Amino acid sequence: MPTFRVAGKMFATLPEDETSIAVRCPKEERDELVLAEPEKFWIAGHEAQFAWVRARLSAIEDEDELRDILADSWRQAAPPRLLDAYPELGLPAAD
């Protein structure tokens, strides 16, 4: 199963079914995603206790949406030094 990591922390994986992608997502946000777009997002039973959500690849609208999903997941795993080094992927710099 291919996994993608930043600084040794996994932020995305392609499960064996090859029809979805699993990404990091804070539990409170993932619940909102699943409620808002159940045709696109769901929580796998064995991942329910962790901050992960699955996205159906066929339901992702385009490359930009996939890029946003992966960048959000990357931000969840990346250490502050990388967020600072790649502001286009990270959060806005603090004043």
Q: Which residue has the higher pLDDT, 1 or 59?
A: 59
Specify the pTM: 0.85
- Label the pairing between strands 9-13 and 3-6: antiparallel
Q: Using alpha carbons, select from 29, 31, 12 the residue that is nearest to residue 21.
A: 12
Distance between CA atoms of residues 53 and 45, nearest Å: 10
Is pLDDT above 80 for 11? yes
Residue ranges of domains in the chain, CATH in brackets = 3-85 (3.90.1150.30)
Q: Which residue has the higher pLDDT, 1 or 64?
A: 64
pLDDT tens digits for range 14-52: 988 889 999 999 998 999 999 999 999 999 999 999 999
